[in-house]
Amino acid sequence: MQLPASYEFPNAPYFAEYLNFEAGENLFEVLKNQSEEMIALYANLQKGQAEFAYAEGKWSLKGLLGHIVDSERIFSYRVLAISRGEKNALPGFDENEYQAASEYETQDAAAILAQYKATREATTLLLHSFSTKQWNQMGQANGKSISARALAWMIAGHEKHHLRIINERYLA
Region 35-62: mean pLDDT is 96
State how many domains the chain has.
Answer: 1
1 belongs to a structural domain = no
Angle at 17 between CA 11 and CA 23, to 5 degrees: 90
Split at pLDDT 50, 70, 90, the class of 172 is confident
Convert the pLDDT of each residue in 1-30 to its tens digit.
Answer: 789 999 999 988 888 889 999 999 999 999
124 belongs to a structural domain = yes
Exposed (0-12), middle (13-18) or buried (19+): which is 7, by Cβ within 10 Å? Answer: exposed
Predicted local confidence at residue 7, as pLDDT: 93
DSSP 141: E
Convert the pLDDT of each residue in 90-144 to its tens digit.
Answer: 999 999 999 999 999 999 999 999 999 999 999 999 999 999 999 999 999 999 9
Q: Whole-number mean pLDDT of the chain? A: 96
- Percentage above 90 pLDDT, the chain: 93
- Taking the C-alpha atoms of residue 51 and residue 59, their distance in angstroms, rounded to an integer, is 9
Instruction: State which residues form the domain around 137.
Output: 6-19+27-170
Closest CA to 68 of 143, 134, 19, 119: 119
Q: Provide the whole-model pTM.
A: 0.95
- Taking the C-alpha atoms of residue 122 and residue 136, their distance in angstroms, rounded to an integer, is 20
Return the percent helix, strand and coil in the chain, to nearest 5. 65, 5, 30
Length of the chain: 172
Predicted local confidence at residue 39, as pLDDT: 98
Q: How far is CA 29 from the centre of its chain?
A: 15
Q: Is the pLDDT of residue 152 over 90?
A: yes
Region 69-84: mean pLDDT is 98
73 belongs to a structural domain = yes
120 belongs to a structural domain = yes
Predicted local confidence at residue 155, as pLDDT: 98
Angle at 118 between CA 93 and CA 143, to 5 degrees: 20
151 belongs to a structural domain = yes
- Taking the C-alpha atoms of residue 104 and residue 61, their distance in angstroms, rounded to an integer, is 10
CATH of the domain at 93: 1.20.120.450
